[in-house]
Structure 1
Amino acid sequence: MSTQPIGIFDSGIGGTSVFKEIEALLPFENTIYLADSANAPYGNKSAEEILNLSIKNTELLISRNCKLIVVACNTATTNAIKTLRTSYNVPFIGIEPAIKPASLNSKTKAVGILATKGTLTSQLFHETTNVYKKDVHVIEQIGDGIVPLIEAGKATSSEMKDLLKVYLKPMIDANIDYLVLGCTHYPYLMPLLLELLPHNVKIIDSGEAVARQTKAVLEQQHLLNTHTTKATHQFYTNATVEIIQTLLNEKYPVDYLKF
């Protein structure tokens, strides 16, 4: 099984930020990536819709012999991963906002989190954050409109900049020293975030931690690819291929697939 691919799915192109971390840490692992852009964003959908989309993506990846599945979407993780883990006989790696390291390391005792409505209103998110909210002021902001702009190739547009100014102002006013990115699309906002935030604010996303956890689970389950041949990476989208192709720097082919 070791040469079988790792499956990765997201509500679109954002999870490519997680793929890049996995590729860097596990250069010999084959992957299949599903960009469910036709249904993006997940963040505004009901919990039932998010679960059904996650099941659809999972079953497609399992049909392609994936040995492990990375749910590279905060909204899908917080709403669906418990059900996925009890329903399918493959390991799942989820992604949650990194509120723990931000809260533990904050000097100003104020932390901002930018995420989708689906993540911020989920039970799993509240279970996690309630532990750390006692000593730290957490400013939560729903990032309405961000994912559609990124999916349209406008991650660094003036329109995006204006949106982020509004979303970041309450956080800056509260003197945050950490900003947690609670959506895998959001690392593509980094150029604008660095421009708009005070220099002392550290930005955390979960991509690197997800890659480390993926490696750990592969080792525990004896699924790590021991071959040292060049890995193959397949990318599929059910929307236009141009934007995701650009994010991958034209490095890998992207195919349209109706799913």
Structure 2
Amino acid sequence: MAKWEVQGKTFLITGGASGLGSLYAEAFLKNGAKSVAILDIAVETGTATVERLNKSYGNKVIFVKCDVSKEEDIVSAWDAVLAQFKQQGLVSFTMKGISHMRKDEGGAGGTIINISSTAALGKPGALPIYSGSKMAVLHFGQCLTMEPFYDLTGIRILTKCLGATDTPLLHNLETKAYDPKVGRLLVQTVETQGIIFQKPESAVAASLYMFQNGAPGSVWLANNNKPAKDITPIIDSAYAAFDKVMME
């Protein structure tokens, strides 16, 4: 039996209008979520997604326009969700979620899932900015969840390292590199090494399993259409190795 149940929880999903975000929303609803708030800048698409999901799941979903790069949008979005649902189970932008959720300041606790990438676990030379930002997500989560964070706040932070997934992000891959020549090499590498673009459904299944089973502060791998894997011990051993070097 899962340690953390989806049933009865409220989920707040940024970027949920389409793609993986909308699939996450539907997966949580299928597994008994009490309610879902979809935050996105794509109003027309988001509204259509909410209408579709509400037809299937009984008016449990709302759409809130939100540009997460704007502080005022985040604040107003949280106010709208709190007014509608009164509680949160999942958020994907962190600091504002923490301020509303932490038990030691009147919140109800909950779970935050941060999306990192397998690009944070290696050195993809064609994608230094992307991989650097995803490493920042991983390291941020690991630092934030040091004791006594969970005991104080009741907030479980999970980090998901998502492998290459068949979404629009990987379309026109040669244009995603920092240099056109490097972009062409990136495409050739993907083709010659037989890198798998996993199905979106595999990524969603991994997120669901991680939510149900992930210990506070844990890091999970979702890659190659395989089941979610807890890689926290590997991450911990890497940090321990650096600690050892710095103490020499």
Same fold, TM-score > 0.5, yes or no: no
- The structure with the larger Rg is 2
Higher relative contact order (CA 8 A, sep 6+): 1
